[in-house]
Structures are given as structure tokens and as C-alpha cells.
């Protein structure tokens, strides 16, 4: 326990008592992982971290205990296992949903509900790129050229994941716009179909 805390304090900001973005960057270089790597997001998930860019002591403890790591070396070794764990279907939905909410800014009072298009594109690439490469790439293309929506909300975010899982791509043969898909996906499919003809 003590060791975990010690590692925490080695990265934490002295005045705030939290690991801040600078600290995370340092951690990342020690882990030999890019700070935009999805594994950091996975780590945040494991910690159930609430605020993007910051780790509290409690979160840190939670994460490292779960990963059975009490130093950076062990932590690094635990990363592949963590990746496997996240990719398990039962966990992935949770992770995917977490990824969105983690990126929302704002405090308790004025919690943001949507994320701007540009950030969404990055997030999609990060969270889903390895699994549904083509869908993600096409969707990102579409998001950039459409003008109906300037932000994406959680409902649409989750809808896209279901879309990737359930709909034949690029055939789209089983997509039924009469069903309750979010409107943005109806428009996406229409755009795709137009391109295909």
C-alpha cells in the first residue's frame, strides 16, 4: 500500500495533490507509452477516473491495486493484460461508454452533455479504431463534411457502437431507417449509399 502511494506522490503535483497532465506525461514516458495511446485511457477506466487529465490518490490506489502493481515496472507489465481485459465484449461496452463521459468537461453543476466533432473524431479513432477500422474512418469522414450536428451526445455515441456491431459493412443491407437509429446514423447511411451508386 505504501509503495503505491509513494509512486503516486512521485508524479503528483505538490500543491494540488493530484497527478496533473504534466505528471501523466511523465508517467507515460516512464511506461514507454505515448500519452495519446489508448492504453492510458484504459488505465483511467480501470481507475474509474473522473476527470480527464487528472488522477486522484483514491483513483490511483484503486487502479494499481486492481492491476496488482506497486511500481512502474509492474504497471508496465500489466498493460497487455489490461488491454485484453478491456477488449472482452462484456467490458468493452462499459469502456466505450466511459471513454465518452471521461472526455466531457465541466463540473458537477454544469456538466457538458456533448462533445465537439473534432474531439469525437479523435476519440472514435482511439476507442474503436483498432476494432472497426473501416467504419470509423468512413464515419469520421462523414462527420467532418456534414453540417447538421456540431456536437455528438452519448446516445449518438453509443448508437454508433451498436451500428458497428450489428450492421453489415459496407453492404449496409440490414440497416432499417424505420427503426430507432439516431438520426445522424440515418443520414450517414444515406450518404454512404449515395457514394456507392
Partner 1 sequence: MSNQKKRNFQIEAFKHRVVVDPKYADKTWKVLEHAIHEIYNHNASGLSFEELYRNAYNMVLHKFGEKLYSGLVSTMTSHLKEISKAIEAAQGESFLEELNRKWNDHNKALQMIRDILMYMDRTYIPSNHKTPVHELGLNLWRDNIVRSSKIQTRLLNTLLDLVHRERTGEVIDRGLMRNIIKMLMDLGSAVYQEDFEKHFLEVSAEFYKVESQKFIECCDCGEYLKKAEKRLNEEIERVTHYLDAKSEIKITNVVEKEMIANHMLRLVHMDNSGLVNMLLDDKYDDLGRMYNLCRRVPNGLLTIREVMTSHLRETGKQLVTDPERLKDPVEFVQRLLDEKDKYDSIINKAFINDKTFQNALTNSFEYFINLNARSPEFISLFVDDKLRKGLKGVSEEDVEIILDKVMMLFRYLQEKDVFEKYYKQHLAKRLLSGKTVSDDAERSLIVKLKTECGYQFTSKLEGMFTDMKTSQDTMQGFYASHPELGEGPTLVVQVLTTGSWPTQPSATCNLPSEMSALCEKFRSYYLGTHTGRRLSWQTNMGNADMKASFGKGQKHELNVSTYQMCVLMLFNNAERLSYKEIEQATEIPAPELKRCLQSMACVKGKNVLRKEPMSKEIGEEDAFFVNDKFSSKFYKVKIGTVVAQKESEPEKQETRQRVEEDRKPQIEAAIVRIMKSRRVLDHNNLISEVTKQLQQRFLPNPTEIKKRIESLIERDFLERDNVDRKLYRYLA
Binding residues for partner 1, per CB under 8 A?
Answer: 113-114, 153, 155-156, 162, 178-183, 186
Min dist CB 91 to partner 1, Å, is 16
Min dist CB 115 to partner 1, Å, is 12
Distance CA 184, CA 190 (A): 10
Min dist CB 159 to partner 1, Å, is 8
The residue (of 3 and 183) whose beta carbon lies closer to partner 1 is 183
The residue (of 43 and 103) whose beta carbon lies closer to partner 1 is 103
The residue (of 55 and 181) whose beta carbon lies closer to partner 1 is 181
Residue 93 parent element (H or E): helix 89-103
Min dist CB 76 to partner 1, Å, is 36
Q: Which residues contact 195 (CB under 8 A, 6 or more apart)?
A: none
Other C-beta atoms within 10 Å of 59: how many? 21
The residue (of 116 and 155) whose beta carbon lies closer to partner 1 is 155
What secondary structure does DSSP assign to 36-91, as a single string? TSHHHHHHHHHHT--STT-B-HHHHHHHHHHTT-SSHHHHHHHHHHHHHHHHSHHH
Q: Which residues contact 81 (CB under 8 A, 6 or more apart)?
A: 67
Amino acid at each position: 500500500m505504501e509503495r503505491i502511494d509513494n509512486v503516486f506522490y512521485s508524479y503528483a503535483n505538490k500543491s494540488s495533490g493530484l497527478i496533473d497532465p504534466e505528471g501523466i506525461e511523465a508517467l507515460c514516458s516512464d511506461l514507454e507509452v505515448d500519452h495519446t495511446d489508448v492504453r492510458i485511457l484504459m488505465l483511467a477506466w480501470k481507475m474509474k477516473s473522473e476527470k480527464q487529465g487528472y488522477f486522484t490518490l483514491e483513483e490511483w490506489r484503486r487502479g494499481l491495486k486492481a492491476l496488482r502493481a506497486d511500481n512502474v515496472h509492474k504497471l508496465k507489465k500489466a498493460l497487455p493484460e489490461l488491454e485484453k481485459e478491456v477488449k472482452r465484449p462484456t467490458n468493452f461496452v462499459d469502456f466505450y461508454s466511459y471513454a465518452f463521459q471521461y472526455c466531457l468537461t465541466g463540473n458537477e453543476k454544469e456538466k457538458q452533455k456533448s462533445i465537439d466533432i473534432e474531439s469525437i473524431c479523435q476519440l472514435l479513432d482511439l476507442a474503436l479504431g483498432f476494432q472497426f477500422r473501416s467504419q470509423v474512418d468512413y464515419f469520421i469522414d462523414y462527420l467532418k463534411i456534414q453540417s447538421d450536428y456540431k456536437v455528438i451526445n452519448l446516445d449518438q455515441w453509443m448508437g454508433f457502437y451498436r451500428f458497428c456491431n450489428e450492421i453489415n459493412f459496407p453492404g449496409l443491407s440490414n440497416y432499417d431507417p424505420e427503426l430507432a437509429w439516431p438520426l445522424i446514423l440515418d443520414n450517414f447511411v444515406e450518404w454512404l449509399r449515395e457514394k456507392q451508386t
